[in-house]
Amino acid sequence: EQTIYLKDYAPTPYRIVSVELDFRILEENTRVRAQLAIEPRDTTAPGTSLVLDGDGLSLSSIAIDGAPLALASYAADDNGLTIVEPPFRRFVLETEVFLKPESNTKLMGLYRSSGTWCTQCEPEGFRRITYYLDRPDVLAPFTVRMTAPQALAPVLLSNGNPIDRGDAGDGMHYAVWQDPFPKPAYLFALVAGDLGSITDSFTTVSGRNVDLAIYCTHGKEAECHHAMDSLKRSMAWDERRFGREYDLDVFNVVAVSDFNFGAMENKGLNIFNDKLVFAQPETATDANYHSIERVIAHEYFHNWTGNRITCRDWFQLCLKEGLTVYRDQEFSSDEHSRPVQRIHDVQNLRTSQFPEDGGPLAHPPRPDHYREINNFYTTTVYEKGAEVVRMLATLLGEAGFRKGMDLYFERHDGEATTIEAFIKVFEDASGRDLSQFITWYLQAGTPQVTVSDSYDGASQTYTLTLTQTVEPTPGEPDKKPLLIPVRFGLIGPNGSPMSWNGVSGGTVEGDLILLDKPSVTLTFSGVANKPVPSLFRAFSAPVKVSSNLDQADLLFLARHDSDPFNRWDALQTVSTQLIAEAARGRRWSDDDAHALRQALVDTLANPDLDAAFKAQAIAIPGTGMVSRHIGKDVDPDAVSAARKDLVTTLVGPIADQLAERYAALVSDAPYSPDAAQAGERALRNGLLQLLVSGAGRGDLAQKQYETAGNMTDRYAAMAIAAQSWTDEAPALLGDFRTRFAGDPLVFDKWLTASAQAPDDGVIERMRAILAAPDFPKTNPNRLRSLLGSFVMSGSTQFTRLDGAGFRFVTEAVAEIDKVNPQVASRILTGMRILPMLEPRRREAGRVALETLKSQHTLSRNVGEILDRILA
């Protein structure tokens, strides 16, 4: 099977000057006529063939400049269309194909979701609509005409601005849309359906009016207001923070039920997975509200970072994704609490990206080869990519970073460009050499930074040594040292910041240490007392740290650090270490447990900390997190038991106190998703979690479930009961299922909670769910809610010693692969956990993968993931 390499990149010999598409949409099929104005590049030799991509298309007519083509002058097959010796000048190629959107279950190209015709083209879906140079460095203006039955599709949308519409006779009508901004085909979109909508408007900073609309299934309009509000705030934020103004007269968002991604940033016509649009208090959680805001912002921000400036090739995906995730994280930080957002984002990085980067699927944020590009829409490209941009902002400072971004927009607007060009603008704007920094994009693996320190009272000098290593990753045996920005402070015995007179041995810029060599030893002079170092404040680099700080030092940081992130992190580190050691047979001492318990109690009592932060601070790291800390030969059952033991140990003596606090947090204020209210709910549910898993208080979960006035509290109660598999859990799950029957997005929540149950019956129950005749087997959200949750949540049933969890997953993947390879391969990535497990589980997993490989014809998507995990 073919591997594609970055080093083979070459521009196309032909350019596409403009595109006119004409869709005739009928129940039975859709006819697509394309008129592509094409010309050879200056460097192209006469007689060079024109090779267009096509995936599963069948050509019904073809002409150049109006004249039908002779059979000998072209060849069409399942992978595309070749025109032998096209004219050596500008010409118009006209093709016609017929599509069957109804039977497109891969959800790439044009398909139908609940009756609505819609498209998903990134990365390579456009070639399933028409023959084209389907790659991001081919940019052209598009004009799109659609004709469809008025009754089935009163709404007809495409990219850009609407320029014409009218009656087409025989119950048909048409609309014409024109997008003046040249764009790659992956940003093309079309929607035709019978949809409701809400509308609003936004006045840009220069006074232009933009009409905004969100389209949805009839009856769901009232659930779109949070998305609309988020959109308007995103538009204002991008003007304020990055000087970026919207550029078309309309901005449309459409919610659809069947969608492979979360959402898609098509120019002027964002298409969304409906779970990232719909919200009302009874059916959406605070987390849902937050995700909606974040993803609406993310897709909107792509208009500049992705659409106006796009990627030269798909290896550069993180040029748009890492940068845009950074931008949406900054938006969330500015709109809510910065420290709470930071903790949230880092937790996500550690639970999803670190395991990818430390396992068989590790790859750099900018990979240099792939078999299937859909397998590279990863947490490394997105979340680590965002961390790399954040480090750039840390190194250059906010003003310096903005200067570089301004230059990026000025220099590359309208282009398809590269990571190198992105880094160059920051070099040019700052005068700084970033040649070492770019390694972050080119090298896989999470760096491990080891810290040791010592203090000499006689000379009042403090010595700090930082050492970096990166373990080998697949295909990368040798690693280069990275430029790691370490934001830091020294804390004196009374808890206040300490100063120093001078520092030698390395580069320190203000509160930033630049760790740019394998090892750096800094000597601080004029340090009056032995300090405790606070390193990597606000998580200034995506690294793992191991230090010589003991539990007392860490709990000192948890109390005194001026950096909230590090206060949180210190508590997490203490718990993680205690559980990990206990899982290896070295249980904590009473003193250790007591000290941690006291730190948690004091954190809860601290009036200077807000509820959302406290909720994060009292959370005990999950089994998956601790397993990765252990790193190899892991027995997840031992980790899970040790975790349960620690929670019980911590909670036992303070259960009544926690229960009182829990009871005091009840509020009868009407639901609002705002940060203050959401924070209180998070804290209350954090306490509930401790009480249920550490003090057997399943009764509290039941009561909360029954009396909850919103989905956040109701779902939390059910999920917490399910995760501890309390006596009440089966009844709560049963009630939830019937109470919300008929709401697919709430059904997803039930699937997720069901998949996380730890009891031995869970696999049988999941098999029954999947086998039920009414289970929607082609809907990505349903499949991911059940199976994605099962493989990614650290379930000890997935990693069962008898291999039943692995077999269940690989058998499900084989079935799903026939319908939707993207969803199947995404679920299979959960098997990346195998190399870190103890040998018997590892072997059971390997057997399941080998069976999948030998007994089925697999898609390229699944085949690639499987081979990389087995390698």
311 or 721: CB nearest ligand DPP? 311
**How far is 815 from 852, CA to CA, in rounded Å?**
10
Q: Candidates 148-156, 173-181, 311-319, 321-329 — which segment interacts with Zn ion by CB under 5 A?
A: 321-329
Residue 725, phi-psi category: left (phi > 0), alpha (psi -120 to 50), beta (remainder): left
Give the shortest CB-302-to-Zn ion separation in angstroms: 6
Neighbours of 450 (CB within 10 A): 15
Residue 264 partner contact from ligand DPP, Zn ion, none using kind-dependent CB cut-offs of 5 to 8 Å: ligand DPP
Which secondary-structure segment (H or E) carries 310? strand 310-311
Give the shortest CB-213-to-ligand DPP separation in angstroms: 20
- Report cis status (omega within 30 of 0) of the bond before 730: no
Query: Is 574:646 a contact under the CB 8 Å cutoff?
Result: no
Give the shortest CB-241-to-Zn ion separation in angstroms: 18
Number of residues interacting with ligand DPP: please give it, by CB under 6 A.
9
Q: Considering the rule CB under 6 A, would residue 264 count as an interface residue with ligand DPP?
A: yes
Q: Considering the rule CB under 6 A, would residue 390 count as an interface residue with ligand DPP?
A: no
Q: Considering the rule CB under 6 A, would residue 376 count as an interface residue with ligand DPP?
A: no
260 or 752: CB nearest Zn ion? 260
Q: Candidates 102-110, 298-306, 418-426, 455-463 — which segment interacts with ligand DPP by CB under 6 A?
A: 298-306
**How far is 304 from 298, CA to CA, in rounded Å?**
11
187 or 256: CB nearest Zn ion? 187
136 or 673: CB nearest ligand DPP? 136
SS (H, E, C) 62-125: EEECCEECCHHHEEEECCEEEECCCCCCCEEEEEEEEECHHHCCCCCEEEEECCEEEEECCCCC
What residues from 79 to 98 belong to the interface with Zn ion (CB under 5 A)? none
189 or 549: CB nearest ligand DPP? 189
Q: Candidates 29-37, 223-231, 261-269, 546-554 — which segment interacts with ligand DPP by CB under 6 A?
A: 261-269
Out of 124, 299, 635, 748, name the contact with ligand DPP by CB under 6 A.
Answer: 299
Residue 223 partner contact from Zn ion, ligand DPP, none using kind-dependent CB cut-offs of 5 to 8 Å: none
Residue 122 partner contact from Zn ion, ligand DPP, none using kind-dependent CB cut-offs of 5 to 8 Å: ligand DPP
Residue 286 partner contact from ligand DPP, Zn ion, none using kind-dependent CB cut-offs of 5 to 8 Å: none
From residue 207 to residue 246, what is the string marking binding to ligand DPP with x (rule CB under 6 A)? ----------------------------------------
Give the shortest CB-645-to-Zn ion separation in angstroms: 41
Q: Nearest to residue 372, comparing CAs of 721, 682, 653, 3? A: 3
Neighbours of 72 (CB within 10 A): 7
**How far is 171 from 154, CA to CA, in rounded Å?**
11
Bridge partner list, 33: 22, 96
305 or 754: CB nearest ligand DPP? 305
Neighbours of 660 (CB within 10 A): 12
273 or 723: CB nearest ligand DPP? 273
Give the shortest CB-223-to-ligand DPP separation in angstroms: 21
| Given 94, 223, 299, 387, the catalytic residue | 299
Residue 53 partner contact from ligand DPP, Zn ion, none using kind-dependent CB cut-offs of 5 to 8 Å: none
Q: Which residue is nearest to ligand DPP (CB)?
A: 261
Query: Is 220:255 a contact under the CB 8 Å cutoff?
Result: yes
**Main-chain phi, psi angles of 254, to 5 degrees:** -125, 130
Q: Could you tell me the two tokens for 243?
A: 């000087």
From residue 91 to residue 130, what is the string marking binding to ligand DPP with x (rule CB under 6 A)? -------------------------------x--------
69 or 129: CB nearest ligand DPP? 129
Give the shortest CB-190-to-ligand DPP separation in angstroms: 16
From residue 760 to residue 799, what is the string marking binding to ligand DPP with x (rule CB under 6 A)? ----------------------------------------
**Sequence-distant (≥ 6) Cβ neighbours of residue 372 within 8 angstroms:** 825, 859, 860, 861, 863, 864
From residue 465 to residue 494, what is the string marking binding to ligand DPP with x (rule CB under 6 A)? ------------------------------
**Main-chain phi, psi angles of 737, to 5 degrees:** -60, -45
**How far is 337 from 292, CA to CA, in rounded Å?**
17
State how far the alpha carbon of 361 is from the alpha carbons of 222, 486, 631, 871, in Å: 42, 27, 15, 10
With b for 16 or more beta-carbon neighbours within 10 A and e for fewer, the 301-318 pattern comes to bbbbbbbbbbbbbbbbbb
Q: Considering the rule CB under 6 A, would residue 645 count as an interface residue with ligand DPP?
A: no
Q: Considering the rule CB under 6 A, would residue 265 count as an interface residue with ligand DPP?
A: yes
Neighbours of 87 (CB within 10 A): 16
Residue 261 partner contact from Zn ion, ligand DPP, none using kind-dependent CB cut-offs of 5 to 8 Å: ligand DPP
Q: What is the CA radius of gyration of the chain?
A: 28
For 374, counting Cβ atoms within 10 Å of its Cβ (0-12 exposed, 13-18 middle, 19+ buried), the class is buried
From residue 302 to residue 331, what is the string marking binding to ligand DPP with x (rule CB under 6 A)? x------------------x----------
The DSSP letter of residue 238 is H
The DSSP letter of residue 283 is T
386 or 444: CB nearest ligand DPP? 386
At residue 199, the 3 state secondary structure works out as strand
The DSSP letter of residue 787 is I
Q: Candidates 295-303, 531-539, 745-753, 826-834 — which segment interacts with ligand DPP by CB under 6 A?
A: 295-303
271 or 770: CB nearest ligand DPP? 271
Give the shortest CB-185-to-Zn ion separation in angstroms: 17
Number of helical H runs and strand E runs in the chain: 28, 35
Query: Is 721:702 a contact under the CB 8 Å cutoff?
Result: yes
**Sequence-distant (≥ 6) Cβ neighbours of residue 703 within 8 angstroms:** none
Q: Number of C-alpha atoms within 13 angstroms, CB side, residue 715?
A: 23
Strands 369-370 and 532-534: unpaired
Give the shortest CB-379-to-ligand DPP separation in angstroms: 12
Give the shortest CB-318-to-Zn ion separation in angstroms: 10
Give the shortest CB-246-to-ligand DPP separation in angstroms: 17
121 or 852: CB nearest ligand DPP? 121
For this structure, is 299 an active site residue?
yes
Give the shortest CB-179-to-ligand DPP separation in angstroms: 17
Cα angle: 601, vertex 606, 607; to 5 degrees: 145
Q: Candidates 125-133, 240-248, 314-322, 446-454 — which segment interacts with Zn ion by CB under 5 A?
A: 314-322
Give the shortest CB-159-to-Zn ion separation in angstroms: 17
299 or 592: CB nearest ligand DPP? 299
254 or 470: CB nearest ligand DPP? 254
Out of 173, 298, 479, 614, name the contact with ligand DPP by CB under 6 A.
Answer: 298
Give the shortest CB-260-to-ligand DPP separation in angstroms: 8
Q: Could you tell me the two tokens for 112?
A: 């139908």
**How far is 650 from 106, CA to CA, in rounded Å?**
48
- Cα-Cα-Cα-Cα dihedral sign, residues 855, 858, 861, 867: positive
Interface with Zn ion (CB under 5 A): 321, 324
Catalytically active residues are: 299
Interface with ligand DPP (CB under 6 A): 122, 261, 263-265, 298-299, 302, 321
